[in-house]
Amino acid sequence: MNILYVEDDPLDADLTRRTLSRRAPHLHLEIARTQQEALSHLACDGEDGKPDFDLLLTDLRLPDGSGFELLSHVRESGLRMAVVVITGQGDEDIAVSVLKAGADDYLVKRQDYLDRLPLTLENALQRYQAEMARRERRLRVLYLENEPAEIALIQRHFGSHAPHIQLDCVHVPAELLQRMPGRGAPVDYDVLMLSYRFYDLNALELLKELRLVRGLELPIILVAEHGDEEVAAQALRLGASDYVVKNPGYLYRLPGLLENAYHRAQLLREQAALRLSEERYRRLAENAPDIIYRIRLKPKVGVEYVSPAITIITGYAPEEFSANIRLLLQLLHLDEKSLVQELLDEKLSADEPLLLSLARKDGDQVWIEARNVLIYDQAGEVIAVEGIARDMTDHRRAEENIQRQLQRLNALRLVDTAINASLDLRMTLSVLLEHVSGQLGVHAADVLLFRPATQTLDYSAGMGFLSRQVENLRLPLGESFAGQVVLQRRTICVSNRAAWNESSGFSELLDVEGFAAYFGTPLIAKDQVKGVLEVYHRQPLNPDPEWLNFFETLAGQAAIAIDNAEMFENLGLANLELTLAYDHTLEGWVRALDLRDRETQGHTQRVTEITLRLASMMGADGSELIHIRRGALLHDIGKMGIPDSILLKPGPLTDEEWVQMRKHPVYAQELLAPISYLEPAIEIPYCHHERWDGAGYPQGLAGEDIPLAARIFAVVDVWDALASDRPYRKKWEHEKIIAYIQENSGTHFDPRVVERFLDFVAEGGDVYIPSPL
pLDDT tens per residue across span 212-254: 888 888 999 999 888 777 888 888 888 899 999 888 888 888 9
768 pLDDT higher than 80: no
Strand pairing partners for 745? Answer: 749
Q: Specify the pLDDT at position 504.
A: 47
Amino acid type, 91: D
How confident is residue 170, by pLDDT bands cut at 50, 70 and 90? very high
Sign of CA dihedral 491, 497, 500, 506: positive
247 vs 223: CA distance, rounded Å: 11
pLDDT of residue 769 exceeding 50: no
The percentage of residues in the chain with a pLDDT greater than 90, rounded to a whole number, is 24
Q: What is the pLDDT of residue 286?
A: 81
Percent of the chain residues topping a pLDDT of 70: 86
Return the pLDDT at 467.
87
The runs of H, that is alpha helices, within 288-351 are: 309-314, 318-323, 326-331, 334-344
Strand partners, 387: 293, 372
- pLDDT digits 0-9 by tens, 290-300: 988 888 888 78
Greatest alpha-carbon pair distance for the chain in Å reads 176
| Whole-number pLDDT of residue 674 | 85
Q: How far apart are CA 684 and CA 713, in angstroms?
A: 7
Query: pLDDT band for position 772 (50/70/90)?
Result: very low
Contacts of 197 (CB under 8 A, 6+ apart): 203, 225
CA–CA separation, 259 and 269 (whole Å):
15
Whether residue 546 has pLDDT greater than 50: yes
- Chain centroid to Cα 558, Å, comes to 31
Residue 568 has pLDDT above 80, yes or no: no
Q: Do residues 119 and 378 make contact, with C-beta atoms less than 8 angstroms apart? A: yes
Residue 245 in contact with residue 224, Cβ under 8 Å? yes
- Is pLDDT of 704 > 90? yes
**Are 689 and 696 contacting, i.e. CB atoms less than 8 angstroms apart?**
yes
Residue 493: C-alpha distances to residues 295, 465, 608 (Å): 50, 19, 63
What are 60-89's pLDDT values in tens digits?
A: 889 999 888 898 888 888 788 999 998 876
Cβ contacts of 176-182, under 8 Å, gap ≥ 24: 176/142, 176/144, 176/206, 177/209, 179/142, 180/210, 180/214, 180/216, 181/214, 182/214, 182/215
Question: Under a CB-based contact definition with an 8 Å cutoff, are residues 29 and 11 in contact?
Answer: no
| Continuous segment of H or E residues that includes residue 514 | none
Task: Give the model's pLDDT for residue 156.
Answer: 92
CA distance 602 to 593: 10
Predicted pLDDT at 335: 63
455: left (phi over 0), alpha (psi -120 to 50) or beta: left
As a whole number, mean pLDDT of residues 152-156 equals 92
| Three-state secondary structure of 141-202 | EEEECCCHHHHHHHHHHHHHHCCCEEEEEECCHHHHHHHCCCCCCCCCCCEEEEECCCCCCC
Helix H or strand E encompassing 719: helix 708-722
What per-residue confidence (pLDDT) applies to 600? 53
Give me the mean pLDDT over the 537-552 stretch.
88
With beta carbons less than 8 A apart as the criterion, state whether 603 and 718 touch.
no
- Please state the rounded mean pLDDT for residues 614-642: 88
* Sheet containing 528-537: order of strands: 474-476, 456-463, 444-451, 528-537, 517-525, 492-494
Mean pLDDT, residues 146-162 taken together: 89
Determine the 3-state secondary structure of 584 from DSSP.
Answer: helix
**How confident is the model at residue 741, as a pLDDT?**
92
Checking if the pLDDT of 629 tops 70, the result is yes
Q: Given this model, what pLDDT does residue 349 score?
A: 63
pLDDT band at 480 (very low <50, low <70, confident <90, very high): confident
Nearest residue to 683 via CA among 704, 708, 701: 708
Task: Please tell me the distance from the alpha carbon of residue 3 to that of residue 22, in angstroms, as a whole number.
Answer: 16
Contacts of 671 (CB under 8 A, 6+ apart): 637, 638, 640, 641
Q: Is the pLDDT of residue 630 over 50?
A: yes
Overall pTM surpassing 0.75 (yes/no): no
Question: How confident is residue 108, by pLDDT bands cut at 50, 70 and 90?
Answer: confident
Q: In whole numbers, what is the pLDDT of the chain averaged over residues? A: 83
**Where is average pLDDT lowest: 101-110, 340-349, 457-466, 608-617?**
340-349
Angle at 508 between CA 506 and CA 514, to 5 degrees: 105
Q: Are 657 and 646 in contact (CB under 8 A)?
A: yes
749 DSSP 8-state letter:
B
- Per-residue confidence (pLDDT) for residue 30, from 0 to 100: 92
Of the ranges 188-197, 334-343, 644-653, which is most confident?
A: 188-197
pLDDT band at residue 211, thresholds of 50, 70 and 90? confident
Pairing of strands 191-195, 139-144: parallel
pLDDT at 161: 81
Alpha helices in 77-136, H assignment, sequence order: 92-100, 113-136
Residues linked to residue 451 through DSSP beta bridges, in sequence order: 456
pLDDT of amino acid 111 = 78
* Cβ contact 711:753 at 8 Å: yes
Tell me the average pLDDT across 318-337. 71
The span from the CA of 590 to the CA of 605, in Å, is: 9
Q: What is the pLDDT of residues 397-417, one digit of tens each?
A: 877 777 777 777 777 777 677
In this prediction, residues 447-459 reach a mean pLDDT of: 90
